[in-house]
Amino acid sequence: MSRSTCALSIVVPTRNEAPNVAPLVDGLEGALADLTGGWELIFVDDSDDATPAEVRSVAERTSVDVRLLHREPGARQGGLGGAVQAGFRLARGRVISVMDGDLQHPPEVIPALVAPPLSGDADIVAGSRYGQQKGTDGLDGPWRRLVSWSCRWLAYLAVPASRPFEDPLSGLFAVRREVVEEADLRADGYKILLEVAARGQWRSACNVAYSFAERNAGDSKASLREGLVFLRHLVKLTYRSRHTTRAPGSGAQPAPAASEPRPLPVRS
Protein backbone atom coordinates (compact mmCIF):
# COMPACT_ATOMS: atom_id res chain seq x y z
CA MET A 1 0.00 0.00 0.00
CA SER A 2 1.08 3.57 -0.66
CA ARG A 3 2.32 5.70 2.21
CA SER A 4 -0.45 7.65 3.92
CA THR A 5 -0.56 11.28 2.77
CA CYS A 6 -4.13 12.31 3.62
CA ALA A 7 -6.81 11.61 6.18
CA LEU A 8 -9.28 9.74 3.98
CA SER A 9 -9.40 7.71 0.80
CA ILE A 10 -12.79 6.84 -0.69
CA VAL A 11 -12.72 3.82 -3.01
CA VAL A 12 -15.59 3.55 -5.49
CA PRO A 13 -15.74 0.43 -7.68
CA THR A 14 -17.65 1.21 -10.88
CA ARG A 15 -19.02 -0.68 -13.84
CA ASN A 16 -21.00 1.23 -16.47
CA GLU A 17 -21.88 4.12 -14.12
CA ALA A 18 -21.17 7.14 -16.36
CA PRO A 19 -24.38 9.09 -15.48
CA ASN A 20 -23.66 8.72 -11.76
CA VAL A 21 -20.09 10.02 -11.65
CA ALA A 22 -20.72 13.79 -11.56
CA PRO A 23 -23.57 13.63 -8.98
CA LEU A 24 -21.46 11.39 -6.76
CA VAL A 25 -18.42 13.70 -6.87
CA ASP A 26 -20.59 16.75 -6.23
CA GLY A 27 -22.34 15.03 -3.32
CA LEU A 28 -19.10 13.95 -1.68
CA GLU A 29 -17.53 17.39 -2.16
CA GLY A 30 -20.42 18.97 -0.26
CA ALA A 31 -20.60 16.28 2.42
CA LEU A 32 -16.87 16.44 3.21
CA ALA A 33 -16.42 20.21 3.13
CA ASP A 34 -15.65 20.21 6.88
CA LEU A 35 -13.23 17.26 6.92
CA THR A 36 -9.70 18.03 8.05
CA GLY A 37 -6.50 16.49 6.72
CA GLY A 38 -7.37 16.10 3.05
CA TRP A 39 -9.17 13.36 1.15
CA GLU A 40 -9.03 11.61 -2.20
CA LEU A 41 -11.55 9.79 -4.36
CA ILE A 42 -10.41 6.64 -6.17
CA PHE A 43 -12.53 5.15 -8.94
CA VAL A 44 -11.60 1.55 -9.77
CA ASP A 45 -13.44 1.01 -13.01
CA ASP A 46 -14.42 -2.20 -14.81
CA SER A 47 -16.65 -0.45 -17.35
CA ASP A 48 -17.19 -1.01 -21.03
CA ASP A 49 -19.04 2.29 -21.49
CA ALA A 50 -18.03 5.96 -21.17
CA THR A 51 -17.43 5.82 -17.40
CA PRO A 52 -13.62 6.26 -17.57
CA ALA A 53 -13.98 9.27 -19.87
CA GLU A 54 -16.60 10.76 -17.57
CA VAL A 55 -14.34 10.31 -14.52
CA ARG A 56 -11.50 12.08 -16.34
CA SER A 57 -13.81 14.89 -17.43
CA VAL A 58 -15.16 15.44 -13.92
CA ALA A 59 -11.65 15.31 -12.46
CA GLU A 60 -10.59 18.21 -14.70
CA ARG A 61 -13.31 20.54 -13.44
CA THR A 62 -13.46 19.74 -9.70
CA SER A 63 -11.22 20.61 -6.78
CA VAL A 64 -11.60 17.06 -5.48
CA ASP A 65 -8.48 14.87 -5.75
CA VAL A 66 -9.92 12.29 -8.17
CA ARG A 67 -7.89 9.26 -9.25
CA LEU A 68 -8.83 6.56 -11.75
CA LEU A 69 -7.74 2.95 -12.25
CA HIS A 70 -9.46 1.44 -15.28
CA ARG A 71 -9.15 -2.35 -15.43
CA GLU A 72 -9.30 -3.69 -18.97
CA PRO A 73 -11.19 -6.89 -19.82
CA GLY A 74 -9.03 -9.81 -18.76
CA ALA A 75 -7.61 -7.84 -15.81
CA ARG A 76 -10.76 -7.72 -13.66
CA GLN A 77 -9.89 -10.48 -11.22
CA GLY A 78 -12.17 -10.83 -8.21
CA GLY A 79 -15.00 -8.78 -9.66
CA LEU A 80 -16.15 -5.93 -7.45
CA GLY A 81 -14.23 -7.26 -4.47
CA GLY A 82 -11.06 -7.40 -6.54
CA ALA A 83 -11.65 -3.80 -7.64
CA VAL A 84 -11.96 -2.69 -4.02
CA GLN A 85 -8.79 -4.54 -3.11
CA ALA A 86 -6.98 -2.77 -5.97
CA GLY A 87 -8.29 0.50 -4.52
CA PHE A 88 -6.89 -0.45 -1.11
CA ARG A 89 -3.43 -0.76 -2.67
CA LEU A 90 -3.69 2.70 -4.24
CA ALA A 91 -5.14 4.44 -1.19
CA ARG A 92 -3.03 7.06 0.61
CA GLY A 93 -5.42 7.81 3.49
CA ARG A 94 -5.21 6.92 7.16
CA VAL A 95 -8.79 5.74 6.79
CA ILE A 96 -10.25 4.02 3.72
CA SER A 97 -13.95 4.12 2.95
CA VAL A 98 -15.75 2.04 0.32
CA MET A 99 -19.04 2.93 -1.35
CA ASP A 100 -20.97 2.07 -4.50
CA GLY A 101 -21.02 4.38 -7.49
CA ASP A 102 -24.78 4.31 -8.11
CA LEU A 103 -25.81 6.75 -5.32
CA GLN A 104 -27.68 4.05 -3.40
CA HIS A 105 -25.12 4.87 -0.71
CA PRO A 106 -25.83 8.55 0.09
CA PRO A 107 -22.72 10.77 0.14
CA GLU A 108 -24.08 12.65 3.18
CA VAL A 109 -23.58 9.57 5.41
CA ILE A 110 -19.82 9.47 4.79
CA PRO A 111 -18.82 11.96 7.56
CA ALA A 112 -20.60 9.83 10.19
CA LEU A 113 -19.13 6.66 8.70
CA VAL A 114 -15.50 7.81 8.80
CA ALA A 115 -15.55 9.75 12.08
CA PRO A 116 -14.95 6.73 14.42
CA PRO A 117 -11.91 5.33 12.55
CA LEU A 118 -10.46 8.82 12.10
CA SER A 119 -10.73 9.45 15.86
CA GLY A 120 -9.53 5.96 16.80
CA ASP A 121 -12.86 4.98 18.35
CA ALA A 122 -13.38 2.02 15.99
CA ASP A 123 -11.35 -0.02 13.51
CA ILE A 124 -14.28 -0.78 11.18
CA VAL A 125 -17.57 1.04 10.67
CA ALA A 126 -20.26 -0.54 8.53
CA GLY A 127 -23.19 1.19 6.93
CA SER A 128 -26.43 -0.53 7.89
CA ARG A 129 -29.71 -0.75 5.99
CA TYR A 130 -31.27 -2.37 9.06
CA GLY A 131 -30.54 0.12 11.86
CA GLN A 132 -32.78 2.55 13.71
CA GLN A 133 -33.02 4.76 10.61
CA LYS A 134 -33.25 1.82 8.25
CA GLY A 135 -34.40 2.27 4.69
CA THR A 136 -34.37 -0.42 2.01
CA ASP A 137 -36.11 1.29 -0.91
CA GLY A 138 -33.16 0.30 -3.09
CA LEU A 139 -33.88 -3.41 -2.66
CA ASP A 140 -36.15 -4.11 -5.62
CA GLY A 141 -39.23 -5.87 -4.33
CA PRO A 142 -40.04 -8.38 -1.57
CA TRP A 143 -38.08 -11.22 -3.17
CA ARG A 144 -34.80 -9.30 -3.14
CA ARG A 145 -35.48 -8.18 0.44
CA LEU A 146 -36.00 -11.81 1.45
CA VAL A 147 -32.78 -12.86 -0.29
CA SER A 148 -30.89 -10.01 1.42
CA TRP A 149 -32.13 -10.97 4.89
CA SER A 150 -31.45 -14.67 4.28
CA CYS A 151 -27.89 -14.03 3.14
CA ARG A 152 -27.32 -11.78 6.13
CA TRP A 153 -28.23 -14.50 8.63
CA LEU A 154 -26.33 -17.13 6.65
CA ALA A 155 -23.24 -14.93 6.98
CA TYR A 156 -23.76 -14.69 10.75
CA LEU A 157 -23.94 -18.48 11.05
CA ALA A 158 -20.96 -19.21 8.81
CA VAL A 159 -18.60 -16.36 9.76
CA PRO A 160 -18.80 -15.43 13.48
CA ALA A 161 -16.53 -12.41 12.91
CA SER A 162 -19.38 -10.81 10.94
CA ARG A 163 -21.77 -10.71 13.91
CA PRO A 164 -20.90 -7.22 15.22
CA PHE A 165 -22.24 -5.81 11.94
CA GLU A 166 -25.94 -5.15 11.49
CA ASP A 167 -25.40 -5.44 7.73
CA PRO A 168 -22.38 -7.73 7.17
CA LEU A 169 -22.93 -7.77 3.39
CA SER A 170 -22.93 -3.99 3.10
CA GLY A 171 -20.93 -2.37 0.33
CA LEU A 172 -20.64 0.79 2.45
CA PHE A 173 -17.96 0.75 5.15
CA ALA A 174 -14.83 2.45 6.46
CA VAL A 175 -11.66 0.98 7.98
CA ARG A 176 -8.41 2.17 9.47
CA ARG A 177 -5.75 1.35 6.89
CA GLU A 178 -4.00 -1.01 9.34
CA VAL A 179 -7.03 -3.32 9.16
CA VAL A 180 -6.35 -4.23 5.53
CA GLU A 181 -2.71 -3.25 5.07
CA GLU A 182 -1.26 -6.66 5.95
CA ALA A 183 -4.44 -8.74 5.67
CA ASP A 184 -4.49 -11.81 3.42
CA LEU A 185 -7.57 -10.69 1.50
CA ARG A 186 -8.87 -13.01 -1.20
CA ALA A 187 -11.65 -10.98 -2.74
CA ASP A 188 -14.28 -12.75 -4.82
CA GLY A 189 -17.46 -11.01 -5.95
CA TYR A 190 -19.53 -8.42 -4.15
CA LYS A 191 -19.18 -9.10 -0.43
CA ILE A 192 -15.85 -7.47 0.38
CA LEU A 193 -16.87 -6.37 3.91
CA LEU A 194 -17.37 -10.02 4.85
CA GLU A 195 -13.84 -10.74 3.61
CA VAL A 196 -12.41 -7.83 5.63
CA ALA A 197 -14.31 -8.95 8.74
CA ALA A 198 -12.99 -12.50 8.44
CA ARG A 199 -9.38 -11.77 7.48
CA GLY A 200 -8.66 -8.17 8.53
CA GLN A 201 -6.71 -7.11 11.61
CA TRP A 202 -9.30 -5.39 13.81
CA ARG A 203 -10.61 -5.28 17.37
CA SER A 204 -13.50 -2.80 17.47
CA ALA A 205 -16.47 -2.14 15.21
CA CYS A 206 -19.66 -0.11 15.06
CA ASN A 207 -22.57 0.57 12.71
CA VAL A 208 -24.04 3.66 11.07
CA ALA A 209 -27.64 3.51 9.86
CA TYR A 210 -28.54 4.95 6.46
CA SER A 211 -31.37 4.79 3.93
CA PHE A 212 -30.55 2.54 0.98
CA ALA A 213 -31.88 4.56 -1.94
CA GLU A 214 -33.03 3.57 -5.40
CA ARG A 215 -30.39 3.63 -8.13
CA ASN A 216 -29.80 7.06 -9.67
CA ALA A 217 -29.12 5.58 -13.12
CA GLY A 218 -28.05 2.34 -14.75
CA ASP A 219 -28.88 -1.28 -14.01
CA SER A 220 -28.37 -3.36 -10.88
CA LYS A 221 -25.41 -5.77 -10.99
CA ALA A 222 -27.12 -8.29 -8.70
CA SER A 223 -27.78 -11.62 -10.43
CA LEU A 224 -28.11 -15.35 -9.82
CA ARG A 225 -24.47 -15.72 -10.81
CA GLU A 226 -23.39 -13.23 -8.15
CA GLY A 227 -25.49 -15.14 -5.62
CA LEU A 228 -23.63 -18.34 -6.47
CA VAL A 229 -20.30 -16.49 -6.18
CA PHE A 230 -21.38 -15.30 -2.71
CA LEU A 231 -22.20 -18.85 -1.57
CA ARG A 232 -18.87 -20.15 -2.90
CA HIS A 233 -17.01 -17.37 -1.12
CA LEU A 234 -18.91 -18.03 2.10
CA VAL A 235 -17.80 -21.67 2.05
CA LYS A 236 -14.18 -20.57 1.68
CA LEU A 237 -14.49 -18.14 4.59
CA THR A 238 -16.20 -20.64 6.89
CA TYR A 239 -13.10 -22.76 7.41
CA ARG A 240 -10.95 -19.73 8.19
CA SER A 241 -13.50 -18.25 10.60
CA ARG A 242 -13.70 -21.47 12.61
CA HIS A 243 -9.99 -21.25 13.32
CA THR A 244 -9.76 -17.59 14.34
CA THR A 245 -9.24 -16.61 17.98
CA ARG A 246 -10.71 -13.12 17.63
CA ALA A 247 -13.85 -12.58 19.69
CA PRO A 248 -16.38 -10.48 17.77
CA GLY A 249 -17.33 -7.15 19.31
CA SER A 250 -20.70 -6.50 20.88
CA GLY A 251 -23.00 -3.64 21.72
CA ALA A 252 -22.03 -1.61 18.67
CA GLN A 253 -23.84 1.72 18.44
CA PRO A 254 -24.35 4.11 15.53
CA ALA A 255 -21.47 6.55 15.34
CA PRO A 256 -21.89 10.32 15.82
CA ALA A 257 -21.63 12.66 12.89
CA ALA A 258 -18.24 14.17 12.18
CA SER A 259 -17.67 17.85 12.88
CA GLU A 260 -14.14 18.83 11.95
CA PRO A 261 -12.44 21.87 10.38
CA ARG A 262 -12.21 22.43 6.65
CA PRO A 263 -9.67 20.18 4.88
CA LEU A 264 -6.33 21.17 3.45
CA PRO A 265 -6.44 20.20 -0.22
CA VAL A 266 -4.13 17.34 -1.18
CA ARG A 267 -3.40 16.90 -4.85
CA SER A 268 -1.39 14.16 -6.52
Find the CATH number of the domain harbouring 74.
3.90.550.10
Q: In whole angstroms, how far apart are CA 199 and each of 6, 54, 193, 221, 265?
A: 25, 34, 10, 25, 33
Domain that holds residue 166: 6-241
Structural domain includes residue 250:
no
pLDDT of residue 239: 54
Structural domain includes residue 254:
no
Q: How far apart are CA 6 and CA 23, in angstroms?
A: 23
Order of strands across the sheet that contains 205-209: 65-70, 39-45, 6-14, 93-98, 173-176, 124-128, 205-209
CB contact at 8 A, 133 and 217: no
pLDDT of residue 178: 96
Structural domain includes residue 266:
no
Structural domain includes residue 261:
no
268 residues of the chain, pLDDT tens digit each: 666 789 999 999 999 999 999 999 999 999 999 999 999 999 999 999 999 999 999 999 999 999 999 999 999 988 889 999 999 999 999 999 999 999 999 999 999 999 999 999 999 999 998 865 445 454 455 555 666 677 788 888 888 899 999 999 889 999 999 999 999 988 776 678 988 998 899 999 999 999 987 655 555 545 556 556 666 666 666 655 554 544 444 333 333 333 332 333 333 3
pLDDT of residue 152: 84
Structural domain includes residue 247:
no
Structural domain includes residue 259:
no
CB contact at 8 A, 122 and 203: no
Amino acid identity for residue 255 in this structure: A
How many domains, in total, are found in the chain?
1
Structural domain includes residue 61:
yes
